[in-house]
């Protein structure tokens, strides 16, 4: 029986070879597809299905986070770099599945409410967010970085990755995310981890007020070298620039509600600061403008700006995908990336200000016009490079 099979194979050697190759490729492909599929957020959603923030809502909170927007996926953070790191994350997934079937709902909630200390350790964040951190990890990671395209993490080579995403090197720059803040001073002198301050990153409902309180509480005890609560401008660099109408090269439009012209400072609007209420609402507009209509102006500014930002975020995703495709086809995209980087830096300036144009409506509109024009320009440039 076996010999007739072998005989048949020998006689049809070409056919046999082709059949084997197809089999191996198909089998490998299916395996990789399974690995791929079980790494996607949609898969995690099966067991982490809640809406909003906090335990069980990890997929939904991620979807609404800056990391989600930028295409940083679950296993980019919850899996270590390299093929071995990826494999280890997959084994961890098997443990998840086993526990899903064996522990109670309450036990699961208990685990998710107390994430372990070393879940996404600081060095892992630094892999993407600093150049030195990236280099060190790349040099010491055992085994190959990647086999096939599985996730963003394995292609992260800094400074290129960082620059293309419009990110600062947090260990060397002291102007990050719109705030004047020296990471290396704070991390090294006070032995803080990323999660001590970025406890809201991706999943948790921590408010910016908690974060500011954390800073000013320590500074209050730290003496005069550290900025105190009334030194708004020292920390909030981007909001100052937005109010002054500077910060973006080539466009300059000061707010009519700030500075010498209007004889106004931050605390004229931020009147609740001494009571720990930092963020004013639309109610604050009528402190100075008698007409109730000014509340509607606030809402109208905020609504139209966030709608515009949403549209631009979608274009960003489309453009970045087109650029990566063009890179894969080895087209000359250097100039197009430059246009793209400029646009996302400008977009980020508006997002970092965080007020949806309340600080300076005219300036914000001008910046978003520039972003839109740069995106258009990049698509045109992309059509013309080969």
User: 298-317: which residues touch ligand HEC (CB under 6 A)?
Assistant: 298, 302
Q: How far is the CB of 22 from ligand HEC (least distance, A)?
A: 30
Residue in 82, 128, 248, 364 binding ligand HEC, rule: CB under 6 A: 128
Q: How far is the CB of 16 from ligand HEC (least distance, A)?
A: 39
The CA-based diameter of the chain, rounded to the nearest angstrom, is 98
Question: Residue 230: left (phi > 0), alpha (psi -120 to 50), or beta?
Answer: alpha
Cβ closer to ligand HEC: 17 or 209? 209
What's the CA gap between 40 and 253, in Å, rounded?
Answer: 44
Q: How far is the CB of 342 from ligand HEC (least distance, A)?
A: 14
Q: Per-residue x/- mask for ligand HEC, residues 143 to 162, rule CB under 6 A?
A: ---------xx--x------
Cβ closer to ligand HEC: 9 or 36? 36
Q: Per-residue x/- mask for ligand HEC, residues 344 to 373, rule CB under 6 A?
A: ----------xxx-xx--------------
Candidates 22-30, 200-208, 318-326, 364-372 — which segment interacts with ligand HEC by CB under 6 A? Answer: 200-208
**Which of the 8 DSSP states describes residue 273?**
G
Residue in 10, 95, 105, 330 binding ligand HEC, rule: CB under 6 A: 95
The residue of the chain with the least Cβ separation from ligand HEC equals 354
Of 235-294, binders to ligand HEC (CB under 6 A) are 235-236, 239-240, 243, 256-258, 262, 264, 266-270, 273, 278-280, 284-285, 287-289, 294
Token duo for residue 160 = 């290129």
**Which of the 8 DSSP states describes residue 227?**
P
What's the CA gap between 94 and 202, in Å, rounded?
Answer: 24
Of 312-341, binders to ligand HEC (CB under 6 A) are none
Total interface residues for ligand HEC by CB under 6 A: 125
Token duo for residue 23 = 């089999």
Long-range contacts of 109-115 (CB under 8 A, 24+ apart): 109/55, 109/56, 112/55, 112/56, 112/58, 113/54, 113/55
Residue in 119, 311, 380, 385 binding ligand HEC, rule: CB under 6 A: 119
Token duo for residue 342 = 């400029």
Of 211-230, binders to ligand HEC (CB under 6 A) are 211-212, 214-216, 218-219, 222, 225-227, 229-230
Verify binding: residue 76, ligand HEC, rule CB under 6 A: yes
Of 10-49, binders to ligand HEC (CB under 6 A) are 39, 41, 43-44, 46-48
Q: How far is the CB of 277 from ligand HEC (least distance, A)?
A: 9
Verify binding: residue 140, ligand HEC, rule CB under 6 A: no
Long-range contacts of 231-236 (CB under 8 A, 24+ apart): 232/266, 232/267, 232/270, 233/266, 234/180, 235/179, 235/180, 235/181, 236/178, 236/179, 236/180, 236/266
What's the CA gap between 103 and 334, in Å, rounded?
Answer: 52
Verify binding: residue 64, ligand HEC, rule CB under 6 A: no
Q: Where are the alpha helices (DSSP H) in 245-292?
A: 266-269, 285-288
Inter-residue contact 172 to 184 (CB < 8 Å) = yes
Residue of 147, 142, 144, 145 lying closest to 31 (CA atoms): 147
């Amino acid at each position: 029986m076996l010999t007739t099979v072998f005989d048949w194979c020998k006689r049809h050697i070409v056919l046999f070879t082709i059949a084997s190759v197809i089999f191996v490729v198909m089998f490998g492909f299916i395996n990789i597809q399974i690995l791929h599929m079980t790494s996607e957020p949609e898969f995690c959603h099966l067991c982490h299905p809640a809406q909003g923030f906090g335990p069980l809502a990890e997929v939904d909170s991620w979807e609404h986070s800056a990391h989600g927007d930028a295409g940083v996926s679950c296993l980019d953070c919850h899996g270590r770099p390299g093929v071995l790191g990826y494999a280890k994350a997959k084994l961890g997934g098997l443990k998840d599945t086993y526990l899903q079937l064996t522990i109670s709902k309450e036990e699961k909630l208990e685990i998710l409410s107390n994430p372990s200390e070393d879940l996404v350790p600081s060095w892992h964040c630094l892999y993407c967010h600093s150049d030195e951190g990236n280099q060190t990890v790349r040099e010491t990671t055992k085994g190959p970085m990647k086999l096939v395209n599985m996730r963003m993490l394995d292609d992260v080579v800094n400074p290129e990755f960082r620059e293309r995403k419009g990110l600062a090197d947090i260990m060397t720059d002291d102007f990050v995310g719109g705030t004047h803040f020296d990471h290396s001073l704070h991390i090294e002198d006070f032995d803080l981890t990323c999660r001590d301050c970025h406890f809201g990153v991706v999943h948790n409902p921590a408010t910016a007020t908690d974060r500011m309180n954390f800073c000013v509480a320590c500074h209050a005890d730290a003496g005069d070298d550290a900025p105190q609560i009334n030194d708004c401008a020292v920390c909030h660099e981007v909001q100052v620039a937005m109010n002054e109408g500077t910060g973006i090269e080539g466009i300059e439009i000061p707010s009519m509600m700030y500075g010498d012209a209007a004889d106004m400072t931050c605390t004229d609007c931020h009147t609740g600061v001494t009571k720990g209420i930092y963020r004013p609402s639309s109610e604050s507009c009528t402190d100075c403008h008698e007409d109730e209509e000014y509340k509607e102006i606030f809402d109208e500014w905020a609504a139209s700006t966030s709608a515009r930002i949403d549209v631009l975020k979608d274009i960003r995703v489309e453009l970045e995908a087109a650029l990566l495709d063009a890179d894969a086809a080895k087209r000359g995209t250097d100039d197009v990336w430059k246009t793209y980087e400029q646009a996302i830096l400008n977009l980020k300036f508006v997002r970092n200000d965080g007020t949806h144009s309340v600080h300076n409506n005219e300036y914000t509109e001008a910046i978003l016009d520039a972003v839109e024009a740069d995106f258009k320009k990049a698509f045109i440039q992309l059509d013309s490079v080969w």
